[in-house]
Amino acid sequence: MPEEHREAPDLESIFHPRGVAVVGASMKSGVGGNMFLDGFQAMGFSGDLYAVNLKAAEGSQIAGRPAYRTLADIPGPVDHVISSVPAPAVPGLVDEAAAKGARSIHLFTAGFRETGIGERAELEREVLRRARAGGIRLIGPNCMGLYCPESGLSFNTSFPLESGNVGVVAQSGGISRAIVGMGALRGLRFSRVVSFGNALDLDEADFYDYLAEQPDTAMVATYLEGAKDGPRTMRALRRLAARKPVVLLKGGETDAGSRAANSHTGVLAGSGRIWRAMARQTGVIMVDSVEDLCDQLSLLKAFPQGLTGARVAIAGSGGGVSVLEADACGRAGLDLPVLPDDIQERLREFTPVHGNSVRNPLDTFGIIDRENYVKTLRIASEADNIDVMILDTETDWGFRPQGRGDHLEATLGSIMEARRVVKKPIVIVVRDPLNPGAAQAWMDLQTRCVALGLPVFLGIEQAARALRRMVDWQQDRAR
């Protein structure tokens, strides 16, 4: 349907249903559509939540919710229906939902166009015809649907309960789940998340337009495999990116990925080169992985005013590790300037001559020697050729039970004190554990730094790439 003839969907209402019914809920716990019953309850959904199963006995419950045989049997209003019935039963369900007065159906049900089977594609079209006739908007099919902490919608029981300022528009439920999980580890919280699958009715463009206006959403992450209507998607992306930072992860950039995307959501994924050119034109930051995407969002969150440039100083352990970190920055296109002579002289006053560079990267005695560490960072950060300070950490102590807590607190103490006196952006690198016993220390250091509001990267390459992309994007926008 051409854009001008479409009615703008009332997505804010769809994200705030009063009554929700999961149709095709299972008698077995934790399977199929029951994940929504569990997820909504874990999130404290405040509306009415019902389970529908043809075999439900009168007055029975499924997953702790009142169970009914059909939608029509439910006494209260139902705004939103979640379909977990087999694909051939969906057209009938759409009619029942319309009769019940529902505004929206989330089709968790898969097995439509993405199967590559002609009659399944026709079934999908029939679903759309009936939804249009019944005045119902569709999310999916073949998707995980909505996560909205504010209203208590969720497709996972472990998502954060608190709302945040990140919107997510993703064609894939698995990727949505990964973005929310990994993003939460990086300190991100979410306003509206949608996994929209085959995009039979509502598609990415609808959600982009919605999030462009949605007041709680300050930035948007999006995962796309393909667009039904490329130009429409581009226009919506451009409108969104003009208002808010947008980070795009494009699935199906390679031939193999494109084939996988076709199996997944039935799309013909476009060429990676075209999408990259488009991203640049529309002011979107394009990334290569979920980790990259979360890294980029955490940088945008930490520095909403942007960065003054891509010239970094690295404070780390020195030696070969610093050499490789300098290489990683160089490969990512970051500048690692030699500190000015006067700064070097001030550092040399208290830095022993052997084994300690004051040029950049900086050797820092060891992060737990707080006084010298913080003094080094303070002085180095005064260099007028440095935009960002990268603090490299390690958890090599983390496997020793006796020293774990002390070392963690000492490291965090140094970081906190550094943040107090350093007047430039700070990012933290937490390197992979070097000992099986250090896994918890590795995670604790991440989560504690994140709790301080600092962007954390699991490797200098990750930090360098995110910084470079951010500065490139700023420069593109400035033009």
Residues within window 177-206 making contact with a second copy, judged by CB under 8 A: 177-178, 181-182, 184-185
The answer to whether residue 326 forms part of the interface with a second copy (CB under 8 A) is yes
The 3-class secondary structure across 313-373, one letter per residue, is: EEEECCHHHHHHHHHHHHHHCCECCCCCHHHHHHHHCCCCCCCCCCCCCEECCCCCCHHHH
Q: Which of 253, 295, 387, 392 binds a second copy (CB under 8 A)?
A: 253
The residue among 94 and 178 lying less far from a second copy, judged by its C-beta, is: 178
Q: Residue 159 gets which letter from DSSP?
A: S
In whole angstroms, give the CA distance from residue 383 to residue 374: 15
Span of 49-57, 296-304, 411-419, 427-435 interacting with a second copy by CB under 8 A: 427-435
Cis-peptide into 86, omega within 30 deg: no
Amino acid at 136: I
Tokens 């005695």 correspond to 365
> Where in 289-318 is the site for a second copy (CB under 8 A)?
289-291, 317-318
Q: Which of 20, 123, 458, 467 binds a second copy (CB under 8 A)?
A: 458
Span of 15-23, 71-79, 145-153, 255-263 interacting with a second copy by CB under 8 A: 255-263
Query: Burial of 349 by CB count in 10 Å (0-12 exposed, 13-18 middle, 19+ buried)?
Result: exposed
The answer to whether residue 455 forms part of the interface with a second copy (CB under 8 A) is no
Beta strand ranges found along 208-245 (DSSP E):
219-224
> Where in 81-120 is the site for a second copy (CB under 8 A)?
87, 110-112, 114-115, 117, 120
Q: Which of 255, 342, 371, 409 binds a second copy (CB under 8 A)?
A: 255
The answer to whether residue 223 forms part of the interface with a second copy (CB under 8 A) is yes
The residue among 68 and 365 lying less far from a second copy, judged by its C-beta, is: 365
The answer to whether residue 174 forms part of the interface with a second copy (CB under 8 A) is yes
Distance of CA 364 to the CA centre of its chain: 34
Single out the residue of 350, 467, 369, 471 nearest to residue 418, CA to CA.
Answer: 369
Minimum distance from residue 163 beta carbon to a second copy (Å): 19
Span of 176-184, 383-391, 413-421, 465-473 interacting with a second copy by CB under 8 A: 176-184
Contact 391, 418 (CB under 8 A): yes
Span of 250-258, 364-372, 383-391, 469-477 interacting with a second copy by CB under 8 A: 250-258
| Encoded tokens for 303 | 């520095």
> Where in 332-371 is the site for a second copy (CB under 8 A)?
335-336, 338, 353-355, 357, 359, 361
